[in-house]
A and B are shown apart, each in its own frame.
Chain A
Amino acid sequence: MADMLTLRNALLQVPGVRFVRPSGAVEDEMAKLVKQPKLPENATLVEDSVFRAIDVTRRDETGFTHFLDGSQFVRRVGFHGLQPVLVAHVSAAIVERIDREIKAPRPENYRVSQKLYVPSSFPGDREDPHFVRVALDDCGAGSAATLKYKEAIEDERKSQEDELSKQFREGVLLIDGGIDEALRGAAGGKFIVGLVKSHETQYFATPDRVQTIIELKEGQRTTVFERPAMGKSQQEVFSFYLKLREDPYSSPMFGLARIEVAPSDEMLKQVDAISSWLMHERAPLSLPDPRYDRLLYPIRLVEQYLKAHQPSEVKISQITRL
Chain B
Amino acid sequence: MQIGRVIGTERNPNTAYTFTFWTPPTERNVGIGTLVKVVSEEETIYGMVVEAHGFNDLASPLHEYMAFDGDPAANSPTIRPEMRVFEANVLRRQPEEPVSAVPIGNVFLADEADVQCALRTDRYAEAFGIPAGCYGSKDDPLAVHLHQEFLLGPESGHLNMTGTSGLAAKTSYILFLLQSIFQHYKDGDGPGEKGVATLLFNTKGGDLLYLDQEALEQPSELDNAIYARCGLQYKPFDKVRYYAPLMRDGVNLNTLRRNEALEGTNPTRTLTFGLTDVVRHAEVLLNRDDLDAKADGYLQHLNNEYVLNHRPESIGGLPVEQAKNIDALVAIVRRHLKDAEHKGEPTYKTHHVHTIRKMLNRLDNLGNRFQGLIATGKDARAQGPTEDEEGFQDRTVYVVDVAQLGTEEQDLVFAALITRLRERMEEQRLGVGRLVVVVDELNKYAPSGGSETYVVKSLKEIAARGRYLGLTLFGAQQFRSRVDKEVVGNAATHAFGHIEVEELSQPGYSYFGAAVKEKLGSLEPGEVLIKHPHFAQPIFIRFPRPSVMKGSDGMRKFQRAEPVLPQDLIRQLCRARGMTENSISDALGALSDSPENFTDVLRELRRLPAGVHPSVALAKGKRAPVAMDKKTSIISEEQDPFG
A: which residues have CB within 8 A of B?
60-62, 64, 97, 100-102, 280-285, 287-288, 297-298, 301, 304
Indicate which residue in B63, B74, B75, B81 contacts A285 across the interface (CB closer than 8 Å): B63
A102 and B74 form a contact (CB under 8 A): no
Q: How far is the CB of A245 from chain B (nearest CB, A)?
A: 10
B81 and A301 form a contact (CB under 8 A): yes
B78 and A287 form a contact (CB under 8 A): no
Q: 8 nearest interchain CB pairs? A: A283-B76, A283-B67, A285-B67, A62-B77, A287-B63, A100-B79, A288-B59, A285-B63
A284 and B81 form a contact (CB under 8 A): no
Cβ–Cβ < 8 Å partners of B58 in chain A: 284
A30 to B67, CA, bound (A): 32
A297 and B78 form a contact (CB under 8 A): yes
The yes or no answer to B510 lying at the interface (CB within 8 A) is no
Cβ–Cβ < 8 Å partners of B57 in chain A: 304
A283 to B80, CA, bound (A): 10
Q: List 26 A-B contacts (CB under 8 A).
A: A60-B74, A60-B75, A64-B77, A97-B78, A100-B77, A100-B79, A101-B79, A101-B81, A102-B81, A280-B77, A281-B77, A281-B78, A282-B67, A283-B67, A283-B68, A283-B74, A284-B58, A284-B64, A284-B76, A285-B63, A288-B59, A288-B63, A298-B78, A301-B78, A301-B81, A304-B57
**From residue 390 to 409 of chain B, which have CB atoms closer than 8 A to chain A?**
none
A281 to B67, CA, bound (A): 10
Q: Which residue of A lies closest to B69 (CB)?
A: A283
The yes or no answer to B318 lying at the interface (CB within 8 A) is no
Cβ–Cβ < 8 Å partners of B80 in chain A: 284, 297
Q: How far is the CB of B11 from chain A (nearest CB, A)?
A: 15
Output the residue of A60, A283, A297 with the most chain B CB within 10 A.
A283
A298 to B57, CA, bound (A): 13
Cβ–Cβ < 8 Å partners of A304 in chain B: 57
Cβ–Cβ < 8 Å partners of A284 in chain B: 58, 63-64, 67, 76, 78, 80
Q: How far is the CB of A294 from chain B (nearest CB, A)?
A: 15
Cβ–Cβ < 8 Å partners of B66 in chain A: 285, 287
Binary contact readout B54-88 vs A (1 if CB under 8 angstroms, 0 otherwise): 00011110011011100000111111110000000
Cβ–Cβ < 8 Å partners of A60 in chain B: 74-75
Q: How far is the CB of B60 from chain A (nearest CB, A)?
A: 7
Q: How far is the CB of A263 from chain B (nearest CB, A)?
A: 27
**From residue 23 to 66 of chain B, which have CB atoms closer than 8 A to chain A?**
57-60, 63-64, 66
B: which residues have CB within 8 A of A?
57-60, 63-64, 66-68, 74-81
Q: How far is the CB of A277 from chain B (nearest CB, A)?
A: 8
Q: How far is the CB of B7 from chain A (nearest CB, A)?
A: 13
Q: Which residue of B lies closest to A67 (CB)?
A: B78
Output the residue of B59, B67, B78 with the most chain A CB within 10 A.
B78
Cβ–Cβ < 8 Å partners of A281 in chain B: 77-78
A240 to B80, CA, bound (A): 29
Q: How far is the CB of A21 from chain B (nearest CB, A)?
A: 20
Cβ–Cβ < 8 Å partners of A102 in chain B: 78, 81
A281 to B75, CA, bound (A): 10
A280 to B68, CA, bound (A): 10
Cβ–Cβ < 8 Å partners of B74 in chain A: 60, 283
Cβ–Cβ < 8 Å partners of A64 in chain B: 77
Q: Which residue of B lies closest to A305 (CB)?
A: B81
A287 to B66, CA, bound (A): 10
B63 and A100 form a contact (CB under 8 A): no
Q: Which residue of B lies closest to A245 (CB)?
A: B66
A283 to B78, CA, bound (A): 8
A100 and B60 form a contact (CB under 8 A): no
B59 and A287 form a contact (CB under 8 A): yes
Cβ–Cβ < 8 Å partners of A297 in chain B: 76, 78, 80
Q: How far is the CB of A289 from chain B (nearest CB, A)?
A: 10
**Apart from A61-B77, A285-B67, A297-B78, 11 more pairs, CB < 8 Å:** A62-B77, A100-B76, A100-B77, A101-B79, A282-B67, A284-B63, A284-B80, A287-B60, A288-B59, A288-B63, A298-B78
A64 to B58, CA, bound (A): 22
Q: How far is the CB of B205 from chain A (nearest CB, A)?
A: 55
Cβ–Cβ < 8 Å partners of B75 in chain A: 60
A285 to B67, CA, bound (A): 5
Cβ–Cβ < 8 Å partners of A61 in chain B: 77
B78 and A100 form a contact (CB under 8 A): yes
A62 to B79, CA, bound (A): 14
Cβ–Cβ < 8 Å partners of A97 in chain B: 77-78
A61 to B74, CA, bound (A): 12
Cβ–Cβ < 8 Å partners of B76 in chain A: 100, 283-284, 297
Output the residue of B64, B67, B77 with the most chain A CB within 10 A.
B77
Cβ–Cβ < 8 Å partners of A287 in chain B: 59-60, 63, 66
Q: How far is the CB of A226 from chain B (nearest CB, A)?
A: 29
Q: How far is the CB of A250 from chain B (nearest CB, A)?
A: 14
Q: How far is the CB of B57 from chain A (nearest CB, A)?
A: 8
Cβ–Cβ < 8 Å partners of A280 in chain B: 77
Q: How far is the CB of B5 from chain A (nearest CB, A)?
A: 14
Q: Which residue of B lies closest to A285 (CB)?
A: B67
Q: Which residue of A lies closest to B65 (CB)?
A: A285
Q: How far is the CB of A170 from chain B (nearest CB, A)?
A: 19
Q: How far is the CB of B510 from chain A (nearest CB, A)?
A: 37
Q: How far is the CB of A120 from chain B (nearest CB, A)?
A: 41
Cβ–Cβ < 8 Å partners of B63 in chain A: 284-285, 287-288
Cβ–Cβ < 8 Å partners of A298 in chain B: 78
Cβ–Cβ < 8 Å partners of A100 in chain B: 76-79
A56 to B78, CA, bound (A): 21
Q: How far is the CB of B537 from chain A (nearest CB, A)?
A: 33
Q: Which residue of B lies closest to A288 (CB)?
A: B59
Q: How far is the CB of A282 from chain B (nearest CB, A)?
A: 7
Cβ–Cβ < 8 Å partners of A285 in chain B: 63-64, 66-67
Q: Which residue of A lies closest to B82 (CB)?
A: A101
Cβ–Cβ < 8 Å partners of B60 in chain A: 287-288
A89 to B60, CA, bound (A): 31
A285 to B63, CA, bound (A): 6
Q: How far is the CB of B82 from chain A (nearest CB, A)?
A: 9
Output the residue of A60, A287, A304 with the most chain B CB within 10 A.
A287
Q: How far is the CB of A30 from chain B (nearest CB, A)?
A: 27
Cβ–Cβ < 8 Å partners of A283 in chain B: 67-68, 74, 76-77
Q: Which residue of A lies closest to B64 (CB)?
A: A284
A61 to B58, CA, bound (A): 22
A60 to B76, CA, bound (A): 8
Cβ–Cβ < 8 Å partners of A288 in chain B: 59-60, 63
Q: Which residue of B lies closest to A300 (CB)?
A: B57
A287 to B80, CA, bound (A): 12
A215 to B291, CA, bound (A): 99
Q: How far is the CB of A133 from chain B (nearest CB, A)?
A: 38
Q: How far is the CB of A54 from chain B (nearest CB, A)?
A: 22
A97 to B63, CA, bound (A): 22
Q: Which residue of B lies closest to A99 (CB)?
A: B79
A97 to B81, CA, bound (A): 12
A62 to B75, CA, bound (A): 12
Q: Which residue of A lies closest to B59 (CB)?
A: A288
Cβ–Cβ < 8 Å partners of B77 in chain A: 61-62, 64, 97, 100, 280-281, 283
Cβ–Cβ < 8 Å partners of B64 in chain A: 284-285
Q: How far is the CB of B67 from chain A (nearest CB, A)?
A: 4
A304 to B77, CA, bound (A): 18
A281 to B76, CA, bound (A): 7
Q: How far is the CB of B36 from chain A (nearest CB, A)?
A: 24
A62 to B76, CA, bound (A): 10
Q: Which residue of B lies closest to A97 (CB)?
A: B78
Cβ–Cβ < 8 Å partners of A301 in chain B: 78, 81
Q: How far is the CB of B390 from chain A (nearest CB, A)?
A: 72
A270 to B141, CA, bound (A): 58
A286 to B34, CA, bound (A): 35
Q: How far is the CB of B137 from chain A (nearest CB, A)?
A: 26
Q: How far is the CB of A244 from chain B (nearest CB, A)?
A: 12
Q: Which residue of A lies closest to B80 (CB)?
A: A284
Q: Which residue of A lies closest to B79 (CB)?
A: A100
Cβ–Cβ < 8 Å partners of A282 in chain B: 67
